[in-house]
Homo-oligomer: A and B are copies of this chain.
Amino acid sequence: MKARNPGEKLHLNLFVMGNGHHRAAWRHPDSCAERLGDIAYYESLARIAERGKLDALFFADGMSVGSVEDGFHWHLEPLTALSAMSRATRRIGLISTISSTFYTPFHAARLVGSLDHISGGRVGWNVVTSMFDSEARNHGYAAMPPHAERYARAEEFVQTVLALWDSWSDDAIERDRQGRYADPDKVRQIDHHGEHFLVDGPLNLPRPPQGNPVLVQAGASSQGRDLAARYAEAIYAVAYDLEAAQAYYRDIKSRVAAAGRTAPVPILPGLVTYVGSTMEEARAKQRELDDCLPVEASLRQLGLFIEQDCSGWDLDAPVPSLPPLAEFRGPQGRYATILRIVETEQPTLRELLGRLAAGGGHCTMIGTPESIADEMERWFHGRGADGFNLMPPSLPSGIEDFVDQVVPELQRRGLFREEYEAATLRGHFGLERPAG
């Protein structure tokens, strides 16, 4: 395993999510459940993250409403929210999810490009293809197009957006008050007539400050990993433990190399943290959120995941042993995660419900700033991660804990920047500005 270069540092994003990534976070008496539509709340999260010198804020996004009764997190539309948040901050990056299945490339190029101008080059675009029929049925499809078709469209979508951002040369604008505003030879049509899109161009917006806003992806399937390897400049990942993270990391880095690319392409697994000045305090924070879970509904949901009736199980006894994966006939991914948690952590039933309610299959670190920094360092040096996409179980307290306690410990170890050294998201991620 190649050692890290001296001075090489972690990259940290804040994954912005309602009142936090624990499904019951909004139920906590101190939660900001009243502020999910209040832009000042999101701005305050952004300022906390910037105080911690984080690389970027990240909004996931979906196109439909789930259950509004329990684990529901609605949020403002990411692009409009991030525009406001850009004015409440100066350096931190701003990453929005946009679905290639539901937007047109021209809208995506323009919205993201405009936000890059507004923020002075701090924008990233997380390319997703979306998953659910309920989303498709809000945008004219009777059902979600098949996986392969979505990815074929996504690739053409990305190519078209890149071409639109490049449709103005950096030096197109002359602003000669006695002559021309711009050189028409440097503002070119792209004449894209592909299988999924017809886009003549040029974009009605000069080249974004970053050239291309940063492309982010979270490829899990083989097709997704290939798309990420060819285009992504930073990658979000799901890894339950270091071993899983290392396998994903190796696979992606080799695909990136095979695609002939030399860019760093940082890989950032999701990370749920409970931080306390002692392990007991950290555990108590976790328990406090877990105790907010409505037990009956959670048991019902677990019952669906494992296809057993667990309503009679003892909440404070260890989870009974479960049939092996090979014998399970329902959806495999979630069941595998549950088996993994039960085997490695030997949780009580109550603890299992809590773990599933907060970032499920994502890595969870519980402890002191020192023990969490140890663990993050192990992932970093063990090449399971180039950084993390922070998923605080509750917001704002979870990101305050991280920024005020873990970040200084990482800085003390030389693992994280003490000040921003760049003004753009590309700069934070160590990416070159493309020549165009």
Residues of chain A touching chain B, judged by Cβ–Cβ distance below 8 Å, are 26-29, 31, 33-34, 37, 39, 43, 62-65, 67-70, 72, 74, 76-77, 79-81, 83-84, 86-88, 102-104, 106-107, 110-111, 113-115, 117-118, 134, 137-142, 172, 175, 177-178, 180-184, 187, 197-206, 292
Contact = CB atoms under 8 A, between A and B. Distances in A.
23 contacts: A28-B177, A33-B175, A33-B177, A39-B87, A39-B117, A39-B118, A62-B204, A65-B204, A68-B180, A68-B187, A69-B180, A69-B182, A74-B204, A76-B117, A80-B118, A84-B86, A87-B87, A102-B107, A107-B139, A137-B198, A138-B199, A140-B197, A177-B292
A427 B113 CA distance: 33
Contacts of A63: 106, 204
Nearest to A77: B114
Contacts of A64: 204
Given A74-B205, A83-B83, A181-B72, A103 B114 contact: no
A113 B103 CA distance: 17
Contact of A79 (B31, B74, B79, B183): B79
Given A37-B117, A39-B118, A68-B183, 7 more contacts: A27-B177, A33-B181, A65-B203, A76-B117, A102-B104, A137-B200, A139-B199
Contacts of A205: 74, 76-77
Contacts of A27: 177-178
Name the residue among A83, A115, A142 with the largest chain B CB count within 10 angstroms.
A83
Contacts of A28: 177
A104 B137 CA distance: 12
B26 A181 contact: yes
The 10 closest A-B pairs by CB, nearest first: A77-B114, A68-B182, A83-B83, A137-B200, A80-B83, A69-B180, A37-B117, A27-B177, A39-B118, A106-B138
Nearest to A76: B114
A250 B183 CA distance: 46
A29 B177 contact: yes
A70 B176 CA distance: 10
Given A63-B106, A79-B80, A199-B137, A70 B180 contact: yes
A88 to B, nearest CB: 7
Name the residue among A43, A88, A103, A114 with the largest chain B CB count within 10 angstroms.
A114
Nearest to A27: B177
Contact of A65 (B114, B140, B175, B202): B202
Contacts of A86: 84
A31 B67 CA distance: 53
A198 B141 contact: yes
Contacts of A106: 63, 102, 138-139
A72 B140 contact: no
Contact of A187 (B43, B65, B201): B65
Contacts of A39: 87, 117-118
B140 A198 contact: yes
Contacts of A62: 204
Contact of A111 (B80, B172, B177, B180): B80
